[in-house]
A = this chain, B = another copy of it.
Amino acid sequence: MSDFVRPVPLEHAYRLINHGPVVLVSATYGGDTNVMAAAWVCALDFSPPKVTLVLDKATHTRALVEASGQCLLHVPTRDQARMVLGLGSDTARQDPHKLSKHGVQWFQPTEGSPNLVQGCAAWLQCRVILEPHNQAAYDLFIAEVDAAWADERVFSGGRWHFEGAPDGMRTLHYVAGGQFFVTGAPWWVEDRVPDGTT
Chain A residues proximal to chain B, CB less than 8 Å: 15, 18-21, 39-45, 50, 52, 54, 78, 81-82, 85, 131, 133-134, 138-140, 142, 158-160, 170, 172-190, 192, 194
* Residue contacts A-B, CB under 8 angstroms, 21 given: A15-B176, A18-B175, A20-B42, A20-B173, A40-B43, A41-B42, A44-B138, A44-B140, A45-B138, A52-B52, A52-B140, A78-B187, A82-B189, A82-B190, A131-B134, A138-B142, A160-B175, A172-B187, A173-B183, A178-B189, A182-B187
B-side contacts of A173, CB under 8 Å: 18-20, 173, 183
Kindly identify which residue among B15, B50, B178, B181 contacts A175, using a CB–CB cutoff of 8 Å.
B15
Q: A179-B186, A189-B85 are in contact. Are A40 and B42 (CB under 8 A)?
A: yes
CA distance A26 to B181 in the complex (A): 27
User: By the criterion CB–CB under 8 Å, are A44 and B50 in contact?
Assistant: no
A186 to B172, CA, bound (A): 9
Chain B residues whose C-beta falls within 8 Å of the C-beta of A18 in the assembled complex = 39, 173-176
Residue of A140, A142, A158, A194 ringed by the most chain B CB atoms within 10 A: A140
Residues of B contacting A192 in the complex (Cβ-Cβ under 8 angstroms): 85, 178
| Residue numbers in B under 8 Å from A170 (CB-CB) | 184
